[in-house]
Structure 1
Amino acid sequence: MSKEDIIYDVIVVGAGIEGSSTAYQLAKRGQSTLLLEQFLLPHSRGSSHGQTRINRRAYLQATYSAMMKQNAEEWNILEKECGEKLYNNCGTLVVSRPSMLEGVETRLNANKAPYRALTGPEMKSEFPNVTLPDDYVGIYDYQGGILFADKSLRAFQEQFKKYGGTLRDGEQVHDVIPGDIVILKTTTGNQFRGRNVVLALGPYTNNLLAKTGLQLPLQVVRIPIFYWKEKVAGMYSPDKFPCFIDETASEGESIYGLPSLEYPGLVKICLHAGPVVDPHKREDVDSTWVRERMMKYIAKTFPWLNPVPAIEETCIYTNSPDKHLFLDRHPKYENIIIAAGFSGHGFKLAPIVGKILSDLVQAKTPAFDMDWFKISRFDKGGENLSSKL
């Protein structure tokens, strides 16, 4: 039987963290699953590459807080299956003014997540290597920490294959023909057929959705990733300093950081914002304003770091207008499921996102409030979808 004759239960397009997690869950449920990736693996053209990401239970929104409760269990399951450490539980410190963190504390209590509320003086005493405004308070999230990104992505893909899934890289899908059996055509001349399709294409989402008559309100942003050198070796190691989120640090945009782990003596601290880009031409923009803003922040807030970045790398966010995800069926074709708009906070959610998308494929009702993630939430008022269905 040739590959053109095979009809898969599900074809997942996009082997980033969300697509790989979804393919893994589907294969684990006994679905014949094909995972397609346009680039040769591994690659750094999307949003899932790199060594680390922050994990946390501390969310303001009730839906995310509930998702993270089950999500932690799923990360543990993956660790046991692959036999590799995917997580460093060094904690996450979230800081801001009291009004911002009251809701976060409420959600943590509702989901029985272990945490500790810290006053400004308590933070100064416990974390003398950070200088924060006097009116700041903090929440120390005991279950927060560092996810090992590259290892996690590889673990999903390897376990997917162990469950019988098929992974093909270098297969860029350029056409989608909807129907009871969806046909996908790739630039290599191959053609694949599936009863269901999941599109998890990150910054390339709208390129392929256009073939189905749909465009989502997505904005692709290039995020400069900065690493700052310790002035005193070991001062920001994971046993002395947790992951860090300053919710309102820079003109309303948050700043996040991870202790020195990826590169010896270097601390990863970045602005959760950057210039809008075409994902195919990501270097054709000026991001010096991000660098300058971050240098001022480091000099003021992290006095024991050199305020000139030692290393600069790049990541890509695909933002929705409200910074919430799209996890939904196509408005016209129910067997096409869309995962997009992860807005720079989706990596940690990958295990539960995979379960939600698998539920949608199998016509099951996910265990969470899906109104947050519906495509139709922009149909009325504000920024509407530009669909011509």
Structure 2
Amino acid sequence: MAGSAIYDAIVVGAGVEGLYTAYHLAKLEQKTLVLEQFPLPHCRGSSHGQSRITRMAYGDQDFYTVMMKEAYKLIEVLEKESGQQLFIQTGLLCIGQKNDPIVRGSAASLQQHGIPHERFGITELQQKFPMMSFPDSFGFVLDHSGGILKADKILQALQTQFKKYGGTLRDEEAVVNIDPGDYVTVQTTKGSYTAKNVILALGPWAPKFLSKLDLHLPLQPVRISVCYWKEKKPGQHSVDKFPVFLMEGGGGDFAVYGLPSQEYPGLVKICLHTGPKIDPDDRDTVDNRWVMDSIQQYIRNHFPQLHPIPAVVETCIYTNTPDHDFILDRHPKWRNVIIGAGFSGHGFKLAPVVGKVLAELAMGAKSSYDLNPFRIDRFKNTSKL
């Protein structure tokens, strides 16, 4: 049964962005409720799985590097609170043409912020990582701070700490309607709740649900094929020999990311950073043959020590904005309806800071960061706001 108490905040969505928001609010002694439509844990959204990449390097988007400094510190806090290792440092290798933003911009940003890194060419690559094969025209930046986040462990830790700080988490309870006003009423499949503020961290369901609030944003869910490739020589791509990496080329039109053999014995995680457009409620019927063809050819060209047919394929969903920057803002009509959306496949690493920012918005506090890159009204010429 739904409770009659008025909450300081209701967070809709128990993915990593919603959980980090709720965790911050509960630590600040805000009476907070989290509502999740599916039974936890689940694999239908964007936060599940064992691993995610983290990094300081961020090409020409220096504001993310600024935010990542605190994100690393906040992961350390969660590690101490939970008593678990949540981060494995492997280094992050940026790969691209020598003058591409991912190489040039990452090196400049890392240099500016005093973050340990190396920039080198193909000869050094062959010495450091002989399992990789790229043309002479490519350049590389190794961000020594990069590594692996234990995604599923982070979600579990956030749930546990949120409850320890007095928060309430209800899963298998979908939100069906929101009635904004001085206080916000949230109707679910099991009852009704009232709060001073509501934070919508809806993942791929954001475009569907926000339309009920007369907000039509250019958010596009896409299906990502998460592929694992078997090593020809066991141990060659282990965490002590192989970094996490991100490659962009052709002006950013083609991107691939990878992680060492860590989740499954002898299997390396390498994925195309895009996929077919989907409805999140019908994600598995789309044709993704072009994704598999592209990533298999990529493995043949650049990772000759891996078998070019994936051993395991799983599914994740990105929710992309046109500029691939997030939405962190208030609803244009109702200031106590806060929206976190459009994380575009790179939001997990920034979730500790995103949660802090969304909590600040909900509490009416001054933001710790410049939120202009994340404003809803940047889409005012192309969307119904």
Q: TM-score range by the shorter chain?
A: over 0.9
1:175 corresponds to which of 174, 177, 197: 177
- Cα distance in structure 1, aligned partners of 2:80 and 2:216: 39
Partner AA of 2:175 in structure 1:
V
CA contact (8 A) 1:176 1:208 kept: no
Map of 1:79 onto structure 2: 79
Q: Say which is worse superposed, 2-11 or 74-83, in terms of deviation.
A: 2-11
Q: Secondary structure at the match of 2:349?
A: helix
Taking the TM superposition and a 5 Å limit, the aligned residue runs for 1:1-389 are: 3-60=2-59, 61-100=61-100, 101-188=103-190, 190-248=191-249, 252-380=253-381, 384-387=382-385
CA contact (8 A) 2:217 2:379 kept: no
Partner AA of 1:273 in structure 2:
T
Summarize deviations over 1:229-254 as a string: whole Å, max 9, x none: 00000000010101011111798221
Q: Secondary structure at the match of 1:367?
A: coil
Summarize deviations over 1:198-220 as a string: whole Å, max 9, x none: 00000011222122111211001
- Cα distance in structure 2, aligned partners of 1:213 and 1:288: 36
What is the deviation of 1:119? 1.8
- Cα distance in structure 2, aligned partners of 1:368 and 1:95: 29
Partner AA of 2:138 in structure 1:
Y
Q: Secondary structure at the match of 1:368?
A: coil
- Cα distance in structure 2, aligned partners of 1:27 and 1:280: 31
- Cα distance in structure 2, aligned partners of 1:220 and 1:112: 36
Summarize deviations over 1:250-286 as a string: whole Å, max 9, x none: 9822100000010000000000010000100001101
TM-score of the superposed pair, with normalisation by structure 2:
0.97
TM-score of the superposed pair, with normalisation by structure 1:
0.96
- Cα distance in structure 2, aligned partners of 1:374 and 1:251: 23
Q: Say which is worse superposed, 356-365 or 48-57, in terms of deviation.
A: 356-365
Partner AA of 1:185 in structure 2:
Q
Partner AA of 1:43 in structure 2:
H
CA contact (8 A) 1:258 1:268 kept: yes
Partner AA of 1:36 in structure 2:
L
Q: How many residues align?
A: 382
CA 1:366–1:251: 2 relative to 1, 3 Å: closer
CA contact (8 A) 1:226 1:313 kept: yes
- Cα distance in structure 2, aligned partners of 1:224 and 1:249: 21
- Cα distance in structure 2, aligned partners of 1:35 and 1:386: 28
CA contact (8 A) 2:35 2:173 kept: yes
- Cα distance in structure 1, aligned partners of 2:107 and 2:351: 23
Summarize deviations over 1:99-152 as a string: whole Å, max 9, x none: 122221121122221111122211122111000111111111111001111001
CA contact (8 A) 2:121 2:136 kept: no
Q: Which runs of 5+ in 2 are unaligned?
A: none
Q: Secondary structure at the match of 1:314?
A: strand
Q: Which runs of 5+ in 1 are unaligned?
A: none
What is the deviation of 1:3? 4.0
Structure 1 residue ranges, 4+ long, deviating more than 6 angstroms after superposition: none
Summarize deviations over 1:40-85 as a string: whole Å, max 9, x none: 1110111000111111110021110100011110111110100001
Partner AA of 2:195 in structure 1:
G
Summarize deviations over 1:7-28 as a string: whole Å, max 9, x none: 0000000000000000000000
What is the deviation of 1:29? 0.7
Partner AA of 2:148 in structure 1:
I
